[in-house]
């Protein structure tokens, strides 16, 4: 499980780094507003599904806190997910040409948290 999480995290970081480093000639950015909103909803849904599947189970992440997954761990997860979503929204607001990068990252986060939730439901 740790290998899967590490591989997923590394993949997401590589995608974000590659997208941030790719500089092309300035083009009027196309707005994908509906897809952007859908990616935010998917990311929030993934975070929520992960938290719902973790309730009552033992938390293995020492940053969140050891022991049974409860309100403290859920609040920490909401803070992290909210920060990720707001950061993406601010990036798109100030750098509209990065909208497609944020969309890909949001869907990547949703997939990662969905995979974690599937694992959690599988071991119950």
- Domain membership of residue 13 (yes or no) is no
Helix axes 99-122, 2-21, angle to 10 degrees: 180
Tally of CB atoms within 10 A around 34: 8
Sequence-distant (6+) residues with CB within 8 A of 121 are 53
pLDDT of the residue at 67: 84
- Domain membership of residue 104 (yes or no) is yes
- Domain membership of residue 23 (yes or no) is no
pLDDT of the residue at 25: 52
pLDDT confidence band for 46 (50 / 70 / 90): very high
- Domain membership of residue 3 (yes or no) is no
What value does the mean pLDDT take over residues 8-17? 60
- Domain membership of residue 54 (yes or no) is yes
Question: What is the spatial distance between Cα 62 and Cα 14, in angstroms, rounded to a whole number?
Answer: 24
pTM of the model: 0.72
68 phi and psi angles, rounded to 5 deg: -70, 140
- Domain membership of residue 16 (yes or no) is no
- Count of structural domains within the chain: 1
Q: Residue 70 is part of which domain span?
A: 30-122
96-121 per-residue burial string, b: 16 or more CB within 10 A, e: under 16:
eebbbbbbebbbbbbbbbbbbbeebe
**Residue 68, helix vs strand vs coil:** strand
pLDDT at residue 106 greater than cutoff 90? yes
């Amino acid at each position: 499980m740790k290998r899967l999480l590490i591989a997923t995290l590394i993949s997401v970081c590589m995608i974000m780094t590659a997208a941030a480093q790719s500089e092309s000639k300035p083009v009027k950015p196309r707005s994908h507003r509906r897809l952007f909103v859908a990616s935010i909803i998917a990311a929030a849904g993934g975070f929520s599904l992960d938290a719902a599947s973790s309730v009552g189970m033992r938390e293995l992440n020492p940053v969140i806190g050891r022991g049974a997954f409860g309100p403290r761990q859920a609040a920490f997860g909401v803070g992290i997910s909210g920060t990720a979503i707001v950061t993406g929204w601010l990036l798109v607001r100030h750098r509209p040409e990065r909208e497609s990068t944020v969309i890909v990252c949001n869907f990547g986060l949703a997939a990662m948290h969905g995979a974690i939730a599937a694992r959690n439901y599988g071991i119950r």
